[in-house]
Amino acid sequence: MRSRSRVQVEQLGEVRPAGRGRAAAILAVPVLSLLIPALATVIASAGGHSQLTRISAAIARFLLYYSGVFALLALTAAVAAGLLATDRAVMSPEHRILAQALHRTASLIGISALANHIMLEVLAHRARIIDGFVPFMAARNTFYMGLGTLASDLFIVIIVTGLLRRRFTSRRLLWRALHATAYAAWPLAILHGLLAGRSAKPYVDWSYGGCLAAVGLALVLRYAMIMRGRNAAPELPVPARGSPLPANMLDFEGAQLRGPGLRGPGLRGPGLRGPARSPLPPLPALPAPSVLAPLPEPRPAEAFPPAWRTTGEYQDR
Amino acid sequence: MLPVIRIGQARVTAGLDHRPRLDMAAHRAVFGFPPALPAAELVGICEQVDLRGRGGAAFPVARKLRAVLTATGQGKRRSVVVVNCTEGEPGSAKDKMLLARAPHLVLDGAMVAASALRASEIVVAVSGDGPHVSSVTDAVAADSALARKVRVVSVPDRFVSGESGALINAINGKPALPPGVKTLASDSGAHGMPTLLSNAETFAQLAVLAVLGPAGFATVGTAHEPGTVMLTVGGSVNRPAVVEAPYGVPLGHVLEVCGAQFPSAVLVGGYHGMWLRADVAYDAPVSRAGLAVAGGTLGAGVVLVLGQDTCPLGEVTRVAGYLAMQSSGQCGPCKLGLPGVSRSLEAIAVGAGGVDELEALRRATAGVRGRGACSHPDGAANFVASALDVFAGDLTEHMFRGTCGRPIRGFLPLPDDSRDQRLRVDWTRCRGHGLCGRLVPELIQLDEHGYPRVHQVPVPFWLSKEATQAVDMCPALALSLTEDKVKPQATAAASTLAELPGPGAFQPRQQPQAVLTGRAWRRADLDAAEAWLAELGGRDLGGQR
């Protein structure tokens, strides 16, 4: 048995895979959006008259008032961008990549604002913790509060499965079905936003109505496109009938095509399509290699130094 | 571990026919103690025998030593000696063999250089796992003088990790990638100190030179290139081996000793080297000058033989794909150009590319030359361009028939990549949205119908982010990253030849530890070969490089 070596081997030079910081940056958005208002609320509720307390109270009040609106706006943008990203008629692949990036970013902001909204509502004692997750449990305004909770739950499922999209390649239909529930969750969220809290101004009502109509129209268009795409014949370039070779091969200097099999009547006639085709003639070689030094004439055996005649010298012991 | 074959006198492989590994005692019994040489004398003897670096670039060791001496004020300031045994070349095994079986010889050479330069540290850089790592750590631990001075570091096992700049980066704690701004290791290397960096065989030869003296060293080899050289012979040969041979021996003799049978072509210098036609290769002497005249390069001594029963273009395509993915992804012309080269080769090999594809291939190959931080694009371009010349006949056949009728047997060694992730398309779902082609153009190109043509190579680390994004953004959920290796397309003609012996037929037989050939090459013979080549090339071979 060999004693363990005392010399350590250091592992050096490892290249860190790109995009490790990306996950941290993505996670930072919801985490910060929860931490900052929570901190602000705690500081504000601690009381006092310092500048910090007043600022914290203002932040907490502002977010309590608007985070739900932000969530709804961001999720509206996410739904619109997601729908836009599926379009093939107007959007180029580059634009669709951009739309997908927008879709993801808007969803991230939306879910962060949603978490913020729920947390602040609970901290402000306008809802219980259970109301944030189980629908139709609220003490007052049960129906419209419940719609919000239901929409929130659906959005959480949609975003978690969206993050795990890679795992769903073998259950594509399941993923699509789950993701399509966004089209149900989003109107519920709008109803909740318009009717659960303070009464909205008319332009807000009109705007959301417009959004709903636009997305509805886009959905109908999308469905129509899918149907048409499925039924339409694929656009295929017409192959050159009768020619076994792609057209770009046939204009190769002529020199390569000298054999009778390629130039003869068989090229367009039935000969090439028929089952018994004569094998192609041997092709002439390409021009001589250029980087090689000129080769010597074959030398007679005695021109070799005696030591070069190596046959029979090898001993394999 | 490959067996060792020796032709002629024993030098760095001395003693290996008796022991699987020379421990301290055995090593001292064979080589004795190397003399402590002052710096001026060491430079002098290196110059006398024109000792060159054996890692591929063949840089004169005397010049390296002199540069370090100048930078340190003749040894007044501290310096570092780096033994490069990373050997990223898949076909090369000589440095690993030396570390595994004669570690003390390599360390002796490093010590000779370190004491002449008054270097404060010796860094032995290895890569991968294997007997060579434990062997060198054991050897260092066995000698307290070594244990004080030697540090063993391991770098990732990739093709460009062993590039001198990348290795210096790794030793300095940075990622092992070739630096964009070249600094000479002899000016500012490991820890910013002047550094003597050379590969393991160079230090072994340096130890032999110190022991034998220049006159003794030059009793074998040619007049211009005295001494012996370590070759790694592989591919379709019956006895793949690490071979020690005197400079000037005809390559044909080496190939016969290793059991090559009717090769169609020989690759010299590894995957940054060049292909030679078999008849040219057999006549060429194994020396830098001899192989250069034949149109090849000695490089790090990798000799890979391609038999008649494998598709040469398919083999070249496999290696070109490997080389493309071994780019470190830093330089645009390399990271986009080499996949383009590989793609064009693949298209021609399966008959999907015509003359325009060949044109594109030649343009792409020429376009990467000299446009990177290291010589990787140049080396890969040499490999592909010489293959196009040597396999011109096969190329024509593939272009017009889609196959040469032979299967791809995979004789050219590549690291096992079956566990690596590749991009894969579910064709029943793909609707040709084309987002993937925009996101990873290095790996996915769209065909004329808008459907992806996926390059079937492992996704390299520098593309993993983009590849993941392409999978995430595929609107049809048709793209995935999987470990399944997609088999190369088998053509109808190739499958009829399936009963030919597979690579297993070329498994090495059980070998003794080292095999000796009876031939003792006389100086006069070897010089005659050089003279003949000099006449052939019409130039003075002594001034090569």
pLDDT in tens, B476-485: 999 999 886 5
Mean pLDDT confidence for A4-31:
78
Q: What angle do helix axes A142-163 and A172-180 make, rounded to 10 degrees?
A: 150
CB B440 within 8 A of CB B422: no
Mean pLDDT confidence for A146-167:
92
Q: In chain A, whose CA is at the least distance from the CA of B352?
A: A246
CB pairs under 8 A between A and B: 196
Chain A residues inside the 8 Å CB shell of B433? 88, 93, 96
Q: In chain B, whose CA is at the least distance from the CA of A310?
A: B253
In the sheet with B265-268, reading across from the earlier edge strand, the strands are B274-277, B265-268, B302-306, B228-235, B241-246, B4-6, B514-516
∠ CA A203-A207-A213, rounded to 5°? 145
Chain A residues inside the 8 Å CB shell of B140? 5, 7
CB contact under 8 A, B477 and A168: yes
∠ CA B378-B129-B82, rounded to 5°? 60
Q: Is a pLDDT exceeding 80 seen at residue A155?
A: yes
Mean pLDDT confidence for A44-59:
86
CB contact under 8 A, A96 and B435: yes
Query: Mind telling me how many Å the CA of A141 is from chain B's nearest CA?
Result: 40
**Over the range B129-161, which residues count as b (16 or more CB within 10 Å of their CB) and which as e?**
eeebbbbbbbbbbbeeebeebbbbbbbbbbbbb
Query: Mind telling me how many Å the CA of B328 is from chain A's nearest CA?
Result: 10
CB contact under 8 A, B396 and A9: no
| Best to test chain B binding among A8, A15, A245 (most B CBs inside 10 Å) | A15
> What is the rounded CA–CA span in Å between residue A64 and residue B279?
85
pLDDT, position B383? 96
Query: Mind telling me how many Å the CA of B470 is from chain A's nearest CA?
Result: 10
> What is the rounded CA–CA span in Å between residue A10 and residue B154?
6
> What is the rounded CA–CA span in Å between residue A114 and residue A116?
5
> What is the rounded CA–CA span in Å between residue A295 and residue B217?
33
Q: Is a pLDDT exceeding 70 seen at residue A6?
A: no
Which of B155, B396, B518 is closest, CB to CB, to A286?
B396
Amino acid residing at B384: V
pLDDT, position B143? 87
| H-assigned helices in chain A | 20-45, 51-85, 93-123, 142-163, 172-180, 182-195, 202-231, 247-250, 260-263, 270-273
> What is the rounded CA–CA span in Å between residue B415 and residue A53?
63
CB A292 within 8 A of CB B279: no
Interchain CB contact of B212 with A (< 8 Å): no
Chain B residues inside the 8 Å CB shell of A163? none
A-contacting residues in B 392-451 (Cβ below 8 Å): 392-393, 395-397, 399-401, 426, 429, 431, 433-435, 437-439, 448-449
Per-position pLDDT tens, chain B of length 545: 788 999 988 899 988 888 889 999 999 999 999 998 999 999 999 999 999 999 888 999 999 999 999 999 888 899 999 999 999 899 999 999 999 999 999 999 999 999 999 999 999 999 988 899 999 999 999 988 889 999 999 999 888 888 899 999 999 999 999 998 888 888 888 888 999 999 999 999 999 999 999 999 999 898 889 999 999 999 999 999 999 999 999 999 999 999 988 899 999 999 999 999 999 999 999 999 999 999 999 999 999 999 998 999 999 999 999 999 999 889 999 989 999 999 999 989 888 888 899 999 999 999 999 998 899 999 999 999 999 999 999 998 898 888 888 898 889 999 887 778 899 999 999 989 999 999 999 899 998 888 999 988 889 888 988 999 999 999 999 999 988 655 544 333 333 333 333 333 333 333 334 544 545 555 555 665 556 555 555 444 333 33
- Spatial CA neighbour of B478 closest among B437, B425, B436: B425
Other CB atoms within 10 A of residue B167 CB: 29
Interchain CB contact of B257 with A (< 8 Å): yes
pLDDT, position A305? 45
Q: Is a pLDDT exceeding 90 seen at residue A289?
A: no
Query: Mind telling me how many Å the CA of A70 is from chain B's nearest CA?
Result: 26
A-contacting residues in B 460-519 (Cβ below 8 Å): 461-462, 464-465, 468, 471-473, 475-481, 512, 515-519
Question: Which residues share a beta bridge with A143?
Answer: none
Q: In chain B, whose CA is at the least distance from the CA of A169?
A: B477
Interchain CB contact of B34 with A (< 8 Å): no
CB contact under 8 A, A97 and B252: no
A-contacting residues in B 278-307 (Cβ below 8 Å): 279-280, 283, 293-295
> What is the rounded CA–CA span in Å between residue B53 and residue B60?
6
Exposed, middle or buried: residue A179 (CB in 10 Å: 0-12, 13-18, 19+)? middle
Interchain CB contact of B129 with A (< 8 Å): no
ipTM exceeding 0.90, yes/no: no
Interchain CB contact of B4 with A (< 8 Å): no
- Spatial CA neighbour of A15 closest among B457, B28, B326, B406: B326
Give the sign of the dihedral formed by CA B478, CA B481, CA B485, CA B487: positive
∠ CA A87-A89-A91, rounded to 5°? 60
pLDDT in tens, A270-279: 433 434 445 5
Strands B228-235 and B241-246: antiparallel
Q: In chain A, whose CA is at the least distance from the CA of B481?
A: A166
Which of B392, B478, B537 is closest, CB to CB, to A285?
B392
- What is the per-residue DSSP string for B101-132? H-HHHHHHHHHHHHHHHT-SEEEEEEESSSHH
Chain B residues inside the 8 Å CB shell of A232? none
CB A193 within 8 A of CB A67: no
Chain A residues inside the 8 Å CB shell of B525? 305-308
- What is the per-residue DSSP string for B13-57? TTTTTT-SS--HHHHHHHH-PPP---HHHHHHHHHHTT-B-TTTT
CB contact under 8 A, B294 and A293: yes
> What is the rounded CA–CA span in Å between residue B369 and residue A137?
71
> What is the rounded CA–CA span in Å between residue B463 and residue B223?
49
* Phi and psi torsions of B392, nearest 5°: -60, -40
pLDDT top residue among B497 and A123 = A123
Chain B residues inside the 8 Å CB shell of A314? 256-257, 517-518
pLDDT in tens, B204-221: 999 999 999 999 999 989
Which of B283, B435, B516 is closest, CB to CB, to A93?
B435
> What is the rounded CA–CA span in Å between residue A67 and residue A122?
13
Amino acid residing at B412: L
CB contact under 8 A, B465 and A19: yes
CB B467 within 8 A of CB B474: no
Mean pLDDT confidence for A135-162:
91
All structural domains of chain B, each given as residue ranges with its CATH number in brackets, are: 33-217 (3.40.50.11540), 418-484 (3.30.70.20)
Chain A residues inside the 8 Å CB shell of B468? 19, 166
CA dihedral angle for residue B333, residue B338, residue B344, residue B346, rounded to 10 degrees: -160
DSSP state of B239: S
State the distance between the two ends of chain A, measured CA to CA, in whole angstroms.
Answer: 31
Contacts of A285 (CB under 8 A, 6+ apart): B392, B393, B396
> What is the rounded CA–CA span in Å between residue A3 and residue A11?
22
Which of A7, A175, A294 is closest, CB to CB, to B147?
A7
> What is the rounded CA–CA span in Å between residue B194 and residue B66?
11
∠ CA B34-B39-B40, rounded to 5°? 115
CB contact under 8 A, A15 and B393: no
Q: Is a pLDDT exceeding 50 seen at residue A249?
A: no
